[in-house]
Amino acid sequence: MKIATTVLETRNTVKNWRKEGYTVGLVPTMGFLHEGHASLIKKCREQNDKVVVSVFVNPTQFGPNEDLEAYPRDLEKDKALCESLGADLIFHPEPSEMYKNPKTYMNIEGLSDNLCGKSRPIHFKGVCTVVSKLFNIVSPDRAYFGQKDAQQLAIIKKMVQDMNFDVEVVGCPIVREEDGLAKSSRNTYLSDEERKAALCLSKSVKKGMEIIKEGISAKEVLDEMKKVINQEPLAKIDYVSMVDSLTMEDVETVDRDVLVAMAVYIGKTRLIDNFSFEVK
Amino acid sequence: MKIATTVLETRNTVKNWRKEGYTVGLVPTMGFLHEGHASLIKKCREQNDKVVVSVFVNPTQFGPNEDLEAYPRDLEKDKALCESLGADLIFHPEPSEMYKNPKTYMNIEGLSDNLCGKSRPIHFKGVCTVVSKLFNIVSPDRAYFGQKDAQQLAIIKKMVQDMNFDVEVVGCPIVREEDGLAKSSRNTYLSDEERKAALCLSKSVKKGMEIIKEGISAKEVLDEMKKVINQEPLAKIDYVSMVDSLTMEDVETVDRDVLVAMAVYIGKTRLIDNFSFEVK
């Protein structure tokens, strides 16, 4: 497995693979890899001749009061995991390699206004920009994203369509701890007490999945879900919402495919979880 | 020479060329080709194995009160010219092939605020977006743009750098009529009388080139240039400006490489012209 820190080295490596006729998959990550990432890398390994994992804590997707500095990093552990899963290349650039007095950005209207975009106004602009850059650097056949970041996945699918990227976007299911908590690099912020409290997210998701059905009102589902979270004293809801799976706009009734998503503060740590429901 | 109207056909054609090891050049145009475009196609023909000319009047770069509908079109003439210059493929999509309920856009800060960006606020957002799409569809080795649209050229160079497009941007000199008028598809809007009046742009450029020198104030150069234009009763200045060649920000003194650019209304037709000056 190779580690590249420059755009040029990454590009040249991929170009040489292309000459040999290999297909290339990309797993974009911010590192501190957990089993959620591992599931993406495994899927990528199955579907492509060559596997690229990018490890880059992207500064442009963090707001001024967010956790850019605190975001956990452990490159040695990430390397070992990628190696064990059969990755061929880690792209691990410094911020200065990725951003040189940047003026250009990719952004998306509508899909980024609701849910996480509401509390993190510049987040998806940063995500769209860095993912576009990674696509241009690696030019992968396929790219892998977790369903845990459901709004991100919907936005990237739309971006790929709108901008004619020649990349297949593959979404992969949420990976959970045994007790239900969705795997996240940010779980490392939680104290023991908070770790227990954080279970209210997955419990709320479970409750929502039990009661959702075609024709039911969003309010009925969301009220039950919020009740579960509000029983937990350490939890503070950022949002619990039901949106159209494609447009990310609020829906009032389950009459189409929907995403039911939440962001909840456990102490100072903001966690997300979600589930999708398809109308037959 | 092939004519493709869909993204898929264009992409597949280029992919087949790539398999053969051919290099590919792209000349993005809005059609109604003149000798300015011809010079781009010729340069592209010299430097690449395969030449793609896109002919697409891009709606997203026109403001609501601009000349999208009136913009001249003549595909048959364009085909003949491209064929005669040895182009391999014309990509000529309908707007509905390029834009399907689009939400995503590319934009650039700073470089698009001044000059044409001031009078055409959404113009460069549309340009950046469509050029990105064309790059993703054609994935050219090189792309060719005229120096007449100097701000566009500077913006696209910066966009390519910022977004890591693997494309070499080649700028080509302004092509002029015998009497000096810069070639433009919009010259076709001019009446006989306006056609004569339009010479004030190139005369003003010529005056500026005569007097510019390192250390001179921008005001001194621009005042002389404006005087030339203001002698023409049919002309109305939109802007005559001197800017830093890289940042497109106004400069007060010629102490670095500068672009001296103008937009002038001749009757209802808005024409542009410019020259660059390099400090030794």
Query: Is B92 a catalytic site residue?
Result: no
Residues spanned by the domain of B126: 2-172
Instruction: Catalogue the E-assigned strands of chain A.
Output: 2-4, 24-29, 50-55, 89-91, 104-108, 142-146, 168-172, 235-244, 258-266, 269-277
Contact A216, A253 (CB under 8 A): yes
Is residue B280 predicted with pLDDT exceeding 90? no
User: What's the rounded mean pLDDT across residues A91-103?
Assistant: 98
Is residue B64 predicted with pLDDT exceeding 90? yes
Q: Dihedral of CA B48/B72/B63/B176: which sign?
A: positive
Q: Are the Cβ atoms of A109 and B105 closer than 8 angstroms?
A: yes
Residue B280 in domain: no
User: What's the rounded mean pLDDT across residues B57-81?
Assistant: 96
Instruction: Tell which residue, B204, B210, B245, has the closest CA to residue B226.
Output: B204
Same domain for B35 and B107, yes or no, is yes
User: What's the rounded mean pLDDT across residues A190-213?
Assistant: 98
Choose the final residue of a domain: B139, B172, B205.
B172
Q: Are the Cβ atoms of A137 and B161 closer than 8 angstroms?
A: no
Same domain for A136 and A251, yes or no, is no
A268 exposure class (CB count in 10 Å sphere: 0-12, 13-18, 19+): exposed
pLDDT of residue A280: 85
Same domain for B221 and B154, yes or no, is no
Residues B17-55: tens digit of each pLDDT: 999 999 999 999 999 999 999 999 999 999 999 999 999
Q: CA-CA distances (angstroms) from residue A35 to A83, A251, A274, B184?
A: 14, 32, 18, 58
pLDDT of residue B32: 97
Choose the final residue of a domain: A112, A147, A172.
A172
Q: Tell me, what CATH number does B243's domain have?
A: 3.30.1300.10
Binding site as annotated, residues of A for beta-alanine: 61
User: Cα(A119)–Cα(B9) distance, rounded to whole angstroms?
Assistant: 42
**Residues of chain A neighbouring B100 (CB-CB closer than 8 A):** 161-162
DSSP 3-state of A255: coil
Confidence of residue A202 (pLDDT cuts 50, 70, 90): very high
Same domain for A112 and A248, yes or no, is no
- Whether residue B149 is annotated as binding a ligand: the answer is yes
Same domain for A77 and A144, yes or no, is yes
Tokens of A79: 């390397």
Q: Are the Cβ atoms of B132 and A163 closer than 8 angstroms?
A: yes
B14 phi and psi angles, rounded to 5 deg: -65, -40
pLDDT of residue B269: 97
Residues A115-124: tens digit of each pLDDT: 999 999 999 9
Same domain for B167 and B39, yes or no, is yes
Residue A177 in domain: no
Same domain for A160 and A255, yes or no, is no
Choose the final residue of a domain: A172, A193, A214.
A172
Q: Give the nearest partner residue to A109 out of B103, B137, B162, using CB atoms.
A: B103
Residues A83-93: tens digit of each pLDDT: 999 999 999 99
**Residues of chain A neighbouring B158 (CB-CB closer than 8 A):** 103-104
Nearest-Cα distance to chain B for A250, in Å, is 17
Share above pLDDT 90 across residues of chain B, in percent, rounded to a whole number: 100
Residues A230-269: tens digit of each pLDDT: 999 999 999 999 999 999 999 999 999 999 999 999 999 9
Same domain for B168 and B124, yes or no, is yes
Q: Give the nearest partner residue to B106 out of A104, A111, A137, using CB atoms.
A: A104
Q: Please count the structural domains in chain B.
A: 2
CB pairs under 8 A between A and B: 73
Same domain for A21 and A160, yes or no, is yes
Residue A179 in domain: no
Q: How many Cα atoms occupy the beta-carbon half-sphere of B167 within 13 Å?
A: 31
Q: At what angle do helices B199-211 and B218-230 cross, to 10 degrees?
A: 150
Please name the amino acid found at residue B153.
Answer: L
Same domain for B218 and B167, yes or no, is no
Do β-strands A50-55 and A89-91 pair in parallel, antiparallel, or remain unpaired? parallel
Average pLDDT, chain B: 97
Q: CA-CA distances (angstroms) from residue A4 to A56, A89, A97?
A: 12, 7, 11
Same domain for A69 and A108, yes or no, is yes
Tokens of B120: 């055409």
Share above pLDDT 70 across residues of chain A, in percent, rounded to a whole number: 100
Q: Are the Cβ atoms of A108 and B103 closer than 8 angstroms?
A: yes
Residue A280 in domain: no
Residue B22 in domain: yes
Q: Are the Cβ atoms of A104 and B136 closer than 8 angstroms?
A: no
User: Cα(A230)–Cα(A243) distance, rounded to whole angstroms?
Assistant: 21
Same domain for A33 and A163, yes or no, is yes
Residue B159 in domain: yes
Residues B168-224: tens digit of each pLDDT: 999 999 999 999 999 999 999 999 999 999 999 999 999 999 999 999 999 999 999
* Interface predicted TM-score (ipTM) of this complex, two decimals: 0.96
Residues A44-87: tens digit of each pLDDT: 999 999 999 999 999 999 999 999 999 999 999 999 999 999 99
Binding site as annotated, residues of A for (R)-pantoate: 61, 152
pLDDT of residue A187: 97
User: Cα(B146)–Cα(A189) distance, rounded to whole angstroms?
Assistant: 53
Residue among B164, B166, B249 with most chain A CBs within 10 A, to mutate: B164
- In DSSP terms, B269 is beta-bridged to B266
Residue A224 in domain: yes
